[in-house]
């Protein structure tokens, strides 16, 4: 990159949905305007106000269908009168919309902006889950919808889980899936904004393992605990040049430096080459790490896109922490837990924190920023001095679009 890029002033709303005590499907709930405003104001507070913003990016997947609302860039000036007449753009890449909003913000700073307000948002509890599944099917090639499962994306990842079972053993895989779920719940309980913050199950791992997948009820190879929930929420963060950081009065120690990024795309009209491999995750992650000049062993923490437990296992293998077919074992042994070899999804990830689709990539960046700057509260992990790096991987569709960002503790 031709200049240094930083992120700071991250902010998350609550990830609202089943599991949160505040959630009641029979009562009115906040809409898009509420979440955009809260996340935007939260980030502006951390950078000295709207006067320091040059332009904005908002990531969102399906507001035109979930909320019958398009043209989301026009909601940015609603956050603060000081944003009126400043450039704003909306970015969409299915579940990677937030990550691609980050990449867009980074590129805008490289192109000359000093401070870019970046927001991700999604409000999905506007319809029943079975109808929402049809909306979310738009993250895949919709021509396949008529032959897919009623719960389209759970069906897609159920097929991946089934292929993994067949190739490497069901019980072995289920142990890894269940440990992934346990990690998600235990980490979410440490983060007040997480959807599973109020989860009191004394044995999440055992519960997940004992809950046999049932195709008559849901999908063939995953149970409901293997899946991220329907979530409403937003996250915001400021992307800045060194000049922007100075204008906002933020010390480098309170920011993370973006030292590399990469995106990758596969053909949405084609099936994955191998259901047991996340090839686009692998490609984007390793391009970003190569651009950063580091390896996976230099990372202190990773936020990866675990829309389903099997996606977490396959990401571990795609990154190279375990050989093909051994990712479930690696996870089951506790290596991705908050006190493990490589802590992943330290505030719960998509399964524990929640998955408001367009917000997820920005939430990942906020979590990495919190961890590397020591601002994660009860969810804080130890960041070794010789491993000051973090990585976020935000995936759109079934390993179709991936945004990867490498961060370093500011100094």
- State whether residue 28 is helix, strand or coil: coil
Check: CB of residue 23 under 8 Å from CB of residue 50: no
| Chain-centre distance for alpha carbon 346 | 12
**If you search the block for the tokens 């936020």, which residue do you land on?**
303
Q: What is the pLDDT of residue 144?
A: 87
- List strands edge to edge, sheet with 115-123: 88-91, 55-59, 115-123, 232-240, 5-12, 256-265, 401-409, 389-396, 299-303
**Cα distance between residue 116 and residue 238, in whole Å:** 6
Half-sphere exposure of 284 (CA within 13 A, CB side): 30
Cβ neighbours of residue 144 closer than 8 Å, sequence gap 6 or more: none
Instruction: Provide the CATH number for the domain around residue 407.
Output: 3.40.47.10
Q: What is the pLDDT of residue 214?
A: 94
Check: CB of residue 98 under 8 Å from CB of residue 85: no
How high is the mean pLDDT in each 10-residue block of the chain (411 residues)?
95 97 94 98 98 98 97 98 98 98 98 98 94 92 84 93 98 98 98 98 98 94 97 98 97 98 97 97 98 98 98 98 98 98 98 98 98 98 97 98 97 83
**Cα distance between residue 406 and residue 290, in whole Å:** 10
Q: What is the DSSP letter of 74?
A: G
Q: CA 132 → CA 138, 141, 381, distances in Å?
A: 10, 16, 35
Q: How many domains does the chain have?
A: 1
Q: What is the pLDDT of residue 150?
A: 81
Residue 406 domain boundaries: 1-411
Q: What is the pLDDT of residue 209?
A: 98
């Amino acid at each position: 990159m031709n200049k240094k890029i930083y992120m700071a002033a991250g902010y998350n709303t609550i990830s609202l949905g089943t599991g949160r005590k505040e959630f009641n499907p029979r009562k009115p709930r906040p809409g898009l305007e509420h979440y955009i405003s809260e996340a935007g104001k939260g980030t502006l507070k951390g950078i000295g106000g709207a006067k320091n913003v040059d332009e904005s990016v908002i990531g969102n997947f399906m507001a035109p269908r979930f909320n019958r609302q398009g043209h989301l860039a026009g909601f940015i000036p609603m956050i603060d009168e000081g944003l009126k007449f400043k450039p704003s753009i909306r970015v969409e890449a299915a579940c990677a919309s937030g990550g691609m909003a980050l990449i867009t913000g980074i590129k805008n700073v490289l192109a000359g902006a000093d401070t870019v307000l970046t927001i991700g948002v999604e409000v999905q509890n506007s319809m029943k889950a079975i109808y929402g599944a049809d909306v979310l099917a738009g993250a895949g090639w919709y021509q396949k919808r008529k032959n897919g499962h009623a719960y389209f994306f759970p069906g897609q990842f159920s097929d991946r889980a089934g292929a993994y079972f067949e190739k490497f053993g069901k019980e072995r895989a289920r142990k890894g899936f269940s440990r992934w779920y346990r990690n998600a719940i235990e980490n979410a309980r440490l983060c007040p904004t997480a959807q599973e913050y109020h989860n009191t199950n004394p044995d999440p791992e055992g519960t997940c393992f004992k809950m046999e997948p049932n195709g008559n009820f849901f999908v063939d190879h995953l149970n409901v605990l293997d899946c991220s929930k329907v979530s409403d929420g937003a996250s915001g963060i400021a992307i800045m040049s060194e000049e922007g950081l100075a204008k906002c009065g933020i010390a480098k120690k309170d920011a993370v430096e973006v030292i590399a990024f990469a995106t990758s795309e596969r053909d949405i009209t084609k099936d994955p080459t191998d259901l047991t491999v996340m090839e686009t995750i692998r490609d984007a992650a390793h391009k970003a790490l190569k651009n950063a000049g580091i390896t996976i062993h230099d990372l202190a923490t990773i936020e990866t896109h675990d829309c389903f437990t099997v996606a977490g296992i396959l990401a571990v293998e795609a990154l190279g922490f375990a050989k093909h077919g051994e990712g479930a074992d690696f996870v089951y042994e506790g290596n991705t837990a908050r006190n493990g070899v490589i802590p992943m999804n330290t505030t719960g990830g998509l399964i524990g924190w929640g998955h408001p689709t367009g917000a997820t990539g920005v939430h990942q960046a906020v979590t990495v920023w919190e961890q590397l700057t020591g601002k994660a509260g009860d969810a804080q992990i130890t960041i070794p001095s010789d491993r000051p790096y973090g990585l976020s991987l935000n995936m759109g569709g079934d390993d179709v679009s991936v945004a990867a960002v490498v961060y370093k503790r500011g100094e």
